[in-house]
Amino acid sequence: MPLLNHLVENSRKTTRTHAEETRAMSKYNSSAGTRQLGTRSSDVDALAQRGYNVGHKIGEGSYATVITAGYADDHGHGVHLACKIIDKAKAPTDFVNKFFPRELEILTKIDHSNIIQIHSILQRGPKIFIFMRYAENGDLLSHIKRSGPIDEKQAKIWFFQMSKALKYLHNLDIAHRDLKCENILLSKRLNIKLADFGFARYCRDDNGREINSETYCGSAAYAAPEVVCGRPYDPKLADAWSLGVILFIMMNAKMPFDDSNLTKLLEDQRNRKFAFRRKLQETISAQAKATVSVLLEPEAHARWNLREILNCAWLRTVEESQTTNP
């Protein structure tokens, strides 16, 4: 099972030992586990030879599957992972030739405490196996569905972590372009891990010139007005809008806009027709509401960028020590 030519296995250092978890997951090497995952036994055997044990399925799309996995090195040190399996034979041509190579390049370049850590990337035939650190507490959307609105103190910490991760990307001239609650993961210690770089791209060309995006990316509910209306857009400022949508959702447990009709969605966005839940109005500070407002600014040129967001009055009370644990 050769590595992709330009990738290095275990390019990110692993931290804690999870040998017990890894051994427990070895039971999934059985034929029953293989049938459940739809993974060929030859793939499972090849992964096992490299120290990987496949687990259970946690997500599936038309040409990608996400499973749990375990990895143990020659010394028995293990780590709990998630593995995204992409079958290029089933994927659209534009994904294989454009988006996926870009995603791989970006994944191997980034390293931030609030971005999901890539463990290794392997290729076997048309299948790519992207192993990443497992986020024990799932995604932000599931958390909100389960627990309801997030209190402002916690929302502020998570928003700060998201903003730091996004500013890190923007400083590298990388835009995410698919920010949404489903792509915000929560670690064992309930810290933010930004994930899914399938639509990420560089914001400068080979000559260093800033370039706008033209591709409609992500989900309409999180998309900025300039993306929804289909005109070229600054992807960094579109990311900032999506961040504002996520902040609104965290504190309200509802979407700011109805995306069932795109014409109506665009009209509501341009007219700022979003409102905090009435029963939560008094529990959310004026500074938090103001932060949402400057991010859900329909005119992109007037919207805050990540430097301005991290310098805003609302985030000044966040202690760095609250946001540094993995």
Token digits of residue 78: 């293990």
Short-list 54, 52, 49, CA closest to 68: 54
Q: Which residues are annotated as a binding site?
A: 84
Which residues sit in the known binding site for ATP?
84
DSSP one-letter code for 294: H
Q: At what angle do helices 152-171 and 286-295 cross, to 10 degrees?
A: 30
Residue 100 identity = F
3-state secondary structure 35-88: HHHCCCHHHHHHHHHCCEEEEEEEEECCCEEEEEEEEECCCCCEEEEEEEEEEC
Written as one string, the DSSP assignment of 295-314 is: HS-SSGGGS--HHHHHTSGG
Catalytic residue among 43, 74, 151, 178: 178
Residue 196 is a catalytic residue:
no
Cα 254 to chain centroid, rounded: 20
185 by DSSP, 3-state: which?
A: strand
SS3 208: coil
- Of residues 143, 142, 140, 144, the one with CA closest to residue 165: 140
- Element holding 16 (H helix, E strand): none
Residues β-bridged to residue 120: 131
- For residue 133, the 8-state DSSP code is E
Kindly list the catalytic residues.
178
